[in-house]
Structure 1
């Protein structure tokens, strides 16, 4: 599917499901990694992640387009366009759009554990992210922290 075909599909879904025209641009954005699509507030354009079409098919793509069109139409009308707004939730349910898109099988989900210890009292603790050991000290004795090891686990 090309960007021109995507544009036509978005315009078609907008008129069929929302009974309103889509007057801006829709295109595939190869830089999107963690989301299926994105509505741009300033330009009113919609970016779509092509991987969702490739890995989940047309049905998932249509759901993502409906979700982004909910943001689009509500923002243009000056109504609540954010995920937590009641206007958004009602419109999303009315048109049958998904609240969240499915995860991509190609993006392996990983769990990261970073293990630290105190050089003074020996206390060990875990973090999800690395911390600056020259900036932080032990919470128990104010001793110097050192990185023990960093582990990454595959979640599947």
Structure 2
């Protein structure tokens, strides 16, 4: 009986860890209430901590702006063409997952918007959320096995 209780406690603990890992990721509205526009505040990233698992949410008028992920050189030169482009979005409501640690550069490719300041550099840290996200996936499979095992043990 004690082993069944230990098994059930382990399943409960794994479930809690999984839920905490999922709840810790944040969505950041780029530009806050101003959105991704020509009035985008250049210091928007100040005081924000971006970690793997978080997402950037770009809201803007479709057709008037774009979101283009570029290389560091593309960012510096406001070049959103050719090999400088790593990804692009244009729906007006785009979510970009910060799935790895490091620098990510985004610009608007419309006209001279980038040179007018419509550009964003985000530095993402790979803190424990990355480990939690990975743990969450692996624990999910383990939890399923433990639940199946617990159910089988309870039947006997």
The structure that is helix-richer by fraction is 2
Greater RCO (Cα-Cα under 8 Å, separation 6 or more): 2
TM superposition score category, shorter chain reference: under 0.3
TM-score calculated relative to the size of structure 2: 0.20
